[in-house]
């Protein structure tokens, strides 16, 4: 039988260090390329402003009654593009 090739510990450690360094560099490159561009601050549509005001009223009423909060959903009415999802998240801090 032939004897298996033996490598020194230094070579194993060096190979592991190179692999780890390459992984860290690749992770840093991928993280930097996937950052989102900041969303431009624009005016909130009238429909979204009305929904936000309604939710604020419900929160105030729930606070007076001793409840913890209000459950709300953003919705699309009849296929409209205005679902207020981002506006609700920005206003109430759900994107944190």
Domain ranges of the chain: 1-36, 38-95
Res 72: pLDDT? 67
Q: What is the pTM of this model?
A: 0.45
Per-residue pLDDT of 31-83, as tens digits, reads: 887 666 565 566 778 888 888 888 888 888 888 888 776 676 655 555 555 56
Res 74: pLDDT? 58
DSSP reduced 3-state for 18? helix
Determine the Cα–Cα distance for residues 53 and 93; give it in Å rounded to an integer.
Answer: 15
Q: How far is CA 28 from the centre of its chain?
A: 18
Non-local (6+) Cβ contacts of 44 within 8 A are 52, 87
Per-residue pLDDT of 3-26, as tens digits, reads: 666 678 888 899 999 999 999 999
Q: What tokens were used for 81?
A: 């593009």
């Amino acid at each position: 039988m032939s004897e298996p090739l033996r490598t020194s510990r230094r070579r194993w450690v060096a190979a592991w260090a190179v692999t780890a360094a390459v992984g860290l560099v690749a992770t840093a490159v991928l993280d930097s390329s996937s950052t989102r561009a900041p969303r431009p601050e624009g005016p909130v549509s009238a429909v979204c402003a009305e929904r936000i005001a309604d939710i604020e009223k419900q929160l105030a009423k729930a606070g007076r009654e001793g409840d913890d909060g209000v459950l709300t959903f953003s919705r699309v009415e009849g296929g409209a593009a205005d679902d207020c999802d981002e506006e609700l998240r920005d206003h109430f801090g759900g994107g944190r």
